[in-house]
Chain A
Amino acid sequence: MEEFGLGSYEMVKALSPFPGLGGTGRTCGAVSGGLLALGLYFGSDDLLNHDSNRVCGTAARVFMERFEATLGSVDCKDIQTLLLGRYFDSKGGKENAEAFVKAKGFEKCTVAAGVGARLAAEIIIESMGRSSL
């Protein structure tokens, strides 16, 4: 968001519960973050501006398709399995948490975050200088 002058630190804070969509293993936090960035860029101050809403929806759809094409899924469980070899439930107890650290889960999951941010940035830059998305 910083590179595009979008949002505020409040947005960063608000994303805190999103990784693995509340730790359930569902939607990856990189997807939530990417969509938020697109909303900040393409969204309108006027929620009744349907043209803007359509553009934002198109950007979101493009993002979802590209993310899934890159990582095979938008779900934390699937992406962890791809990147780490298995899924580590964040509520799976101390042994599970230790196994995640040992598997370098913190380091390896940054791949998904990088993919999501890069894809959102690509879509934003592609739209620059274009009359429609």
Chain B
Amino acid sequence: MVDYEKLRERVEKQAEKAWDTKSIEGWFSRIAKEGIASKVDPKEVAADKPRILELVQRRAEECTYLSHV
């Protein structure tokens, strides 16, 4: 079920966020130049789940922002 209140807060947070465009561009350039790193250890990923989920979410948001503005 959609949590409208949580979504509204998230949307407002993104709208007001100060995007570090230079840093995002740096990451994006590195990926474009060097490619994506080799396989990772599943045990390490599973053990570090909260941090990785936050990172994955943030990277997706930044990539979307940078590729549209």
Report which A residues bind B (CB closer than 8 A).
Answer: 1-9, 12, 16, 19, 29-30, 33, 69-72, 82-83, 104, 106-111, 113-118, 120-122, 125, 128-129
Tell me the minimal C-beta distance from A115 to chain B in angstroms. 8
A46 to chain B, nearest CB (A): 18
The A interface, classified by DSSP as helix, strand, loop or mixed, is helix
Over the window 4-28 of chain B, the binary record of Cβ atoms lying under 8 Å from chain A Cβ atoms (1 yes, 0 no) is 0001001100110101000000000
Report A93 CB to chain B, min CB distance, Å.
18
Secondary structure of the B side of the interface? helix
Q: How far is the CA of A30 from the CA of B64 in the complex (A)?
A: 9
Taking a contact as CB atoms under 8 Å apart, the answer to whether A5 and B65 are in contact is no
Indicate the size class of the contact surface on chain B. 35 or more
Given contacts A69-B2, A122-B53, contact A111 B14 (CB under 8 A): yes
| B residues apposed to A, CB below 8 Å | 1-3, 7, 10-11, 14-15, 17, 19, 31-32, 35-40, 42-43, 45-46, 49, 52-53, 55-65, 67-69
> Is there an interface contact between A2 and B11, defined as CB atoms closer than 8 Å?
no
Residues of B within 8 A of A118 (CB): 53, 56-57, 60
| Distance (whole angstroms) from the CB of B62 to the closest CB of chain A | 8
A2/B31 contact (C-beta < 8 A), A71-B2, A118-B60 known: yes
Complex formed: what's the CA distance from A111 to B2 in Å?
A: 14
